[in-house]
Amino acid sequence: MNFVKMMLGEKLSDAELSLDVAGSDREVLQVAYQDFTNYLKVHWNLIGKEANRCELVKKLEKQIQENPVELEEVLTIWSNMWLKKWKERVKLLIGNQKHVEPQVFDALKNAESQWKKIGRKQELTELVVGALVKNGEICGTEIVAESLLKCELCAKYVQKFGDKERVFNILNSALSKARRISQNKGPLIFVKIDKGYYKS
């Protein structure tokens, strides 16, 4: 898997010369790598399956051994699509700059304690990731999926559902929003950066 991450880093660097994936932009590579593995899980129908990580590793190793050229071509195409989405969906906030939806930030903050109490978080997140990828959202999939679930958790918290019923309603609402996200343009992820980052 590290080999695939290295290849992806090279493809991103080739497509966007300003990226330093081995240095200051290594978190960008980490998000891209997570998004690529999520994309493959959807493509290979592994979402929601137990031990899908092991199956993903096996399939990738087989691909590297049997057809490394095809994997490289897929990575080239995918990394260009991903960078286009990154520029559309991620907004950097420098210093005290505010983003347009503080209520979303507040909702996520309030939902954090409830989120910790919910079981099977990874499975829920994967299902929402699957909906995002199937609707063309390939950037920040895990971040966006978790945020959608937390926002729904906060919205449904005041209602009196039994645990399973509440989780089912939260998941359904998050899946519905994940399917509609592709119809909206603009940033979904806001990254706060210290002004000192840009000082040489």
- Residue range 121-135: mean pLDDT, rounded: 95
> What angle (nearest 5°) sits at the alpha carbon of residue 12, between those of residues 48 and 40?
20
- Residue range 67-88: mean pLDDT, rounded: 95
Is 90 exceeded by the pLDDT of residue 74? Answer: yes
Longest CA–CA span in the chain (Å) reads 55
The contacts found for 145-152 with CB under 8 angstroms, 24 or more apart, are 145/174, 145/178, 147/104, 147/108, 148/174, 148/177, 148/178, 149/115, 149/121, 149/124, 149/125, 149/174, 150/107, 150/108, 150/111, 150/112, 150/115, 151/104, 151/107, 151/108, 151/111, 152/177
Domain boundaries, the chain: 2-94, 102-186
CB 115 within 8 A of CB 149: yes
Q: Which residue has the higher pLDDT, 112 or 64?
A: 64
CB 28 within 8 A of CB 15: no
Is 70 exceeded by the pLDDT of residue 198? Answer: no
pLDDT at position 117: 81
Dihedral angle sign, alpha carbons of residues 2, 3, 5, 6: positive
**pLDDT tens per residue across span 156-197:** 654 555 578 888 888 999 999 999 998 888 888 877 765 554
pLDDT at position 109: 73
Q: Which residue has the higher pLDDT, 27 or 102?
A: 27
Query: Whole-angstrom Cα distance, residue 140 to residue 189?
Result: 8
pLDDT at position 3: 87
Strands 90-94 and 189-193: parallel
Q: What percent of the chain has pLDDT over 90?
A: 55
Query: Whole-angstrom Cα distance, residue 47 to residue 124?
Result: 10
- Residue range 112-134: mean pLDDT, rounded: 89
